[in-house]
Structure 1
Amino acid sequence: MQSGKEEGISYYVGIDVGTGSARAALVDQFGTVVHQAEEPIQIWEPHADHYEQASSDVWAACCHVAKKVAQFAGSGHIRGLGFDATCSLVVLDKQFRPLAVNAEGDRRRNVIMWMDHRAGSQVNRINGTKHKVLDYVGGVMSVEMQPPKLLWLKENLRKECWDKSGQFFDLPDFLTWKATGVPARSFCTLVCKWTYSPEKGWDDTFWKEIGLEDILEDNYAKIGNQVRLPGAPIGNRLTSEAAKDLGLPEGIAVAASLIDAHAGGLGVIGADVKGHSLACENQPITSRLALICGTSSCHMAISKEPIFVRGVWGPYYSAMVPGFWLNEGGQSATGKLIDHVVRGHEAFRDLQQKADARGQHIYTYLNHHLDQIRKSEPVGFLAANLHVWPDFHGNRSPLADLTMKGMIVGLTLSKGLDNLALLYLATVQGIALGTRHILEAMQAAGHQISTLFLCGGLSKNPLFVQMHADVTGLPVVLSKEVDSVLVGAAILGACASGDFTSVQEAMETMSKVGKVIFPNEQHKRFYDKKYRVFLKLAEHQREYRAIMGDL
């Protein structure tokens, strides 16, 4: 580490914009989160599968949380700022003012969120081209990526939005523009969500073939012609206006951003695991998979050479760790699915009252309740005859099938708290089985994964963590700092400041192991059986669809 200040402690501010909130952390040079703050962000859902936000709300929330954490620096020096955010689409006009992305004409709502699925027909047409750029997104583009959203805007809001547009930002890049005034884009966002090639740049033939030839104008100025590696400094540093808004020192380094899941990966995957009896201690970093689990889940595996995995995004070069290729599996609804199942159950009110009476979170109470009803058998075995296929919001990986639906097999007339707890357990198992499905696709293609590194909100749930260890048969490493996404964002700021010579050096210094969870080997036969049922559910769903499609 090369500190720019010899006296005092160096700090970095990491700002993370998730699905429903903005968070900031003040992180010291050793990777310790000194203080953090959170502020909610409003979501609009004007129609089914339409999710929108306001970029002004997002920036205001970032400013609010940054001011809260900055005051805890004391005599230390804040040296850099890093952003990460969801891969939502921000639309601005030629004067950099918000443009409406909705038929209501509400210009304030100028963000199409990552989980918005309005562009289903557009993504089907894009995938129908079988263009060569699709080879780098697992062969099939997701509706959650940006080209289908752009095509939807052109076809549905041409006069109101498309013809007036000046900039289309991925949300992480919008934030660095707000901080610096420079409309540069990150390799991470452009490569992962926009079809940019690190070697060849933009492919004109793709945009022309899908009907977005006007994107080529002015050397792709609307979607980005200045590209920076994650952690590289954005030229102008923090402007005086942004410094005042954020409560941070003017002129500090601002780093090229990451998508939120990728920041989580950066925050955990490089941790020193010496002394924890893990195989990956003596293996290359490519033996590790970072699992970032919150509203949705992302599965990040890196490799020295490109690996093509059908139904898994990538390979993306230098999109998370510079110099490595990245494959990104994912589940579009995990935390959101658990909430949906639990809160929609008839016994939820009873659960809420009992959890409140004990001063516990509802999931802490449910985990305790499962322990109470399991008697002598392992908790997981309670769901031997209750099975969940978790694709309530389509399958991102490895089937890459937006039309897949959720399935629950084994329901009874029971409607009490015991039944709710079992359904919760089966849902968590279904999500873990989905992770195993993704892992097997990655390993069949050439990845050699021996250890899972978990972070994100769901990593705070012991049941969720243990189920992932038991179902996959792999040990799970939890970060010392639970909010590894924020550490990842701070690592970006640390790199931009020049205090570290590389992202890899910053990762090794600032990522710390907290706890290791090992699988219960004696439960392997049970989860192998559950996995066989899991695969049958997908097979049967497709059979049912074929039958009904014959009308």
Structure 2
Amino acid sequence: MRYFLAFDAGTGSGRAVLFDETGAEVATAGQEWWHASDPRYPGSMDFDTEGNWAALARCCREVIAKAGVDPKDIVSVSATAMREAFVLHDESGAEIWACANVDARADAEVRELKRDHPGLEEDIYARSGQTYALGALPRLIWLRRHMPEVLERAQALTMLSDWVLYRLSGELTSEPSNAGTTGLIGLADRKVLGDAMEKLGLRSDIFPRSVVTGECVGTVSGAAAKETGLAPGTLVIAGGGDCQTGGLGLGIVENGDCAVLGGTFWQQVVNVPLTLTDPSMKLRINPHVVSHLNQAEAISFFTGAAMRWFRDAFGQGKGYFELEAASKEVPPGAHGIIPILSDVMRYNEWIHAAPSLLNLSLDPEKSGPAAIFRALQENAAIVAHRNLEAVFALTGERPARIVFAGGASKSPHWAQILADVTGLPVATSKVKEATALGCAAAGATGAGQFGSLMEAGAAWSCIEDEYQPNRALRDLYDEASDRWQRAYAAQRALVAEGVTQSMWRAPGT
């Protein structure tokens, strides 16, 4: 039996997942992590390359031990990761600086860019599908101002998925589905927007050689083999951004296909043609790993992280399944509780309200852990629904179904809530780790098992269950959605007035 291993460096955890040649998951190991803020720089979110690589290497060794496989039977290894986060390397390849995805330290730089270069953000968005909100451009300018010695030494910029491949093989490469989230890669041609970088006095050659998902970039080095337990010489294959490899793992490889990926953040994605852009700049457009498609995407912030927070703070020692079992007894609508967490996608004005729970009752049966847990699940579905409706309005088409994946899709109850709220059938994948599965499919393609990524996605994706919407609940959830929208607007206003503090806000907003 041949095996394929995927590393997944996510926002809230790192994982190693092993698949066999049929696409079946053999073993997985993960470690929760978070990213420290540098107290000197408000909004910063550093990525610990040394500590997090050690965590990924431990996960790899654990997976190999769990599966009981000979490392020589692992044909290839690939990597996927949170987008937007990047690593800077010096001339020797060593990492000299790294940030996580929602690092927001470049607030002043975004404001200055908008003031001093009117129209530049709009031009960059039209070509790359990205605004300054999570882009690399303001962060690089921030480095030039605050850490000039770092930027002067920087010879290469890699995304986290590329960085994992570098740790494995020693090869510095750049793959566009993830690099595209810097806002410096064109949607149509996947090339660096060198003119935009040069206009601002930045080097346009900082991206290393470009590779495509499924391309072999090298082999596992002797040093990496000792750290991970992999066999030296194992093929190292280019992966991609987590959302895009997740789409591949779900078989979301045709125009119009739709998915919700439920992890620490929730992503709602629809495949679109290369020519589509959003005149409102509220949605983002990303390169897909399938080269002839892009993905229109909306993001719900900290959805999975909020569930972890609730479990740890109020779960009274119970796990997710125990909390959910109790929440199933709570009637739809969760007694009117309104969670204020993620807003809908506003890429050009991304400000979230302060985390809060509104409309609580003094009746413990109506505002206890079970009721709040259900309210959090329903709210995640409401925000996802509103985000998807914005994408459907842009494309002018509605899909036949939503494919639901990620950790949240392990819950049949949550999948049913998503169907009830959206009014669309919701299909769940047999393999819940769709992001890792798509990454492993890329690895299998690079190793010659498949002739193309589309062939791999079609062969390995497998729908396990489908949930039909309960039409009788549509009016209830539409009314709950309207109340949430009005309540959220009021809570955003409190942030604007300085009464409360935003959960997260994009730099320059």
Q: What interval of TM-score do these two structures reach, taking the shorter chain for normalisation?
A: 0.7 to 0.9
> 2:324·2:373 contact (CA, 8 Å) conserved in 1?
no
Residues 1:205 and 2:195 aligned together:
yes
- Please, which of 88, 93, 96 is the counterpart of residue 90 of structure 2? 93
One-letter amino acid of the counterpart of residue 439, structure 1: L
> 1:22·1:41 contact (CA, 8 Å) conserved in 2?
yes
Residue aligned with 1:214, SS = coil
- 2 CA distance for matches of 1:390 and 1:215? 38
- 2 CA distance for matches of 1:316 and 1:139? 8
Shift of 1:510: 1.3
> 2:351·2:492 contact (CA, 8 Å) conserved in 1?
no
Partner of 1:3: none
Partner of 1:63: 57
Query: Residues 94-173 of structure 1 correspond to what in structure 2 (within 5 A)?
Result: 94-99=91-96, 110-126=97-113, 129-131=118-120, 132-136=123-127, 140-142=131-133, 144-159=134-149, 161-173=150-162
Shift of 1:343: 4.3
Residue aligned with 2:372, SS = helix
* Structure 1 pair 130–470 and aligned structure 2 pair: CA distance change class (3 A): farther
- 1 CA distance for matches of 2:49 and 2:190? 31
One-letter amino acid of the counterpart of residue 189, structure 2: E
- 2 CA distance for matches of 1:57 and 1:545? 35
* Structure 1 pair 37–388 and aligned structure 2 pair: CA distance change class (3 A): closer
Partner of 1:264: 246
Shift of 1:42: 6.0
Shift of 1:139: 6.5
Residue aligned with 1:215, SS = coil
- 1 CA distance for matches of 2:135 and 2:463? 33
Shift of 1:22: 2.2
> 1:137·1:314 contact (CA, 8 Å) conserved in 2?
no
> Residue by residue, what CA displacement relative to the aligned partner does 1:360-380 show, whole Å, maximum 9, x if unpaired?
x1x3222222334x4xxxx22
Shift of 1:166: 2.8
> Residue by residue, what CA displacement relative to the aligned partner does 1:118-153 show, whole Å, maximum 9, x if unpaired?
2233334445533212125656332x3322222222
Query: Residues 160-239 of structure 1 correspond to what in structure 2 (within 5 A)?
Result: 161-197=150-186, 198-199=188-189, 201-209=191-199, 211=200, 213-216=201-204, 220=205, 222-224=206-208, 226-234=209-217, 236-239=218-221
- 2 CA distance for matches of 1:237 and 1:396? 42
Query: Residues 11-22 of structure 1 correspond to what in structure 2 (within 5 A)?
Result: 11-22=3-14
Residue aligned with 1:299, SS = strand
> Residue by residue, what CA displacement relative to the aligned partner does 1:298-344 show, whole Å, maximum 9, x if unpaired?
12211245322334554334x32232122121112111123335544
One-letter amino acid of the counterpart of residue 379, structure 2: G
* Structure 1 pair 410–137 and aligned structure 2 pair: CA distance change class (3 A): farther
Shift of 1:186: 0.3
Residue aligned with 2:270, SS = strand
One-letter amino acid of the counterpart of residue 73, structure 1: V
Partner of 1:430: 379
Partner of 2:324: 367
Residue aligned with 2:28, SS = strand
One-letter amino acid of the counterpart of residue 143, structure 2: L
> 1:39·1:64 contact (CA, 8 Å) conserved in 2?
no
TM-score, L = length of structure 2: 0.87
> 1:233·1:255 contact (CA, 8 Å) conserved in 2?
yes
* Structure 1 pair 237–76 and aligned structure 2 pair: CA distance change class (3 A): closer
* Structure 1 pair 424–295 and aligned structure 2 pair: CA distance change class (3 A): same
One-letter amino acid of the counterpart of residue 231, structure 1: G
* Structure 1 pair 485–176 and aligned structure 2 pair: CA distance change class (3 A): same
Partner of 1:250: 232
- Please, which of 284, 308, 316 is the counterpart of residue 352 of structure 1? 316
> 1:86·1:114 contact (CA, 8 Å) conserved in 2?
yes
* Structure 1 pair 66–399 and aligned structure 2 pair: CA distance change class (3 A): closer
One-letter amino acid of the counterpart of residue 402, structure 1: W
| Structure 1 range deviating more: 403-412 or 470-479 | 403-412
Residue aligned with 2:166, SS = helix
One-letter amino acid of the counterpart of residue 131, structure 2: V
Residue aligned with 1:290, SS = strand
Residues 1:43 and 2:35 aligned together:
yes
> 1:263·1:489 contact (CA, 8 Å) conserved in 2?
yes
One-letter amino acid of the counterpart of residue 119, structure 2: K
One-letter amino acid of the counterpart of residue 78, structure 1: I
* Percent of aligned positions that are identical: 21
Shift of 1:396: 6.7
Partner of 2:351: 403
- 2 CA distance for matches of 1:64 and 1:543? 45
- Please, which of 323, 327, 330 is the counterpart of residue 296 of structure 2? 327
Q: Which runs of 5+ in 2 are unaligned?
A: 500-509
Shift of 1:491: 0.7
Shift of 1:13: 0.9
- 2 CA distance for matches of 1:237 and 1:227? 17
| Structure 1 range deviating more: 195-204 or 478-487 | 195-204
Residue aligned with 2:219, SS = coil
> 1:93·1:165 contact (CA, 8 Å) conserved in 2?
yes
Partner of 1:81: 77
Root-mean-square deviation over aligned CA pairs: 2.8
Aligned residues: 486
- Please, which of 246, 263, 266 is the counterpart of residue 297 of structure 1? 266
Residue aligned with 2:370, SS = helix
| Structure 1 range deviating more: 81-90 or 128-137 | 128-137
* Structure 1 pair 330–126 and aligned structure 2 pair: CA distance change class (3 A): farther
> 1:82·1:257 contact (CA, 8 Å) conserved in 2?
yes
> 1:127·1:141 contact (CA, 8 Å) conserved in 2?
no
Partner of 2:392: 443
> 1:136·1:316 contact (CA, 8 Å) conserved in 2?
no
* Structure 1 pair 449–195 and aligned structure 2 pair: CA distance change class (3 A): farther
> 2:135·2:182 contact (CA, 8 Å) conserved in 1?
yes
* Structure 1 pair 136–296 and aligned structure 2 pair: CA distance change class (3 A): farther
- 1 CA distance for matches of 2:33 and 2:300? 23
Residue aligned with 1:352, SS = coil
> 1:15·1:84 contact (CA, 8 Å) conserved in 2?
yes
- 2 CA distance for matches of 1:442 and 1:22? 30
TM-score, L = length of structure 1: 0.80
* Structure 1 pair 251–475 and aligned structure 2 pair: CA distance change class (3 A): same
Shift of 1:505: 0.7
Residue aligned with 1:122, SS = helix
* Structure 1 pair 506–450 and aligned structure 2 pair: CA distance change class (3 A): same
- 2 CA distance for matches of 1:200 and 1:81? 24
- 2 CA distance for matches of 1:243 and 1:544? 53
Shift of 1:468: 1.4
> 2:10·2:82 contact (CA, 8 Å) conserved in 1?
yes
> 1:269·1:453 contact (CA, 8 Å) conserved in 2?
no
- 2 CA distance for matches of 1:73 and 1:46? 41
- 2 CA distance for matches of 1:546 and 1:250? 55
* Structure 1 pair 453–330 and aligned structure 2 pair: CA distance change class (3 A): same
> 1:84·1:172 contact (CA, 8 Å) conserved in 2?
yes
Query: Residues 276-295 of structure 1 correspond to what in structure 2 (within 5 A)?
Result: 285-295=254-264
Shift of 1:117: 2.0
Q: Which has the larger radius of gyration?
A: 1
* Structure 1 pair 337–42 and aligned structure 2 pair: CA distance change class (3 A): closer
Shift of 1:524: 0.7
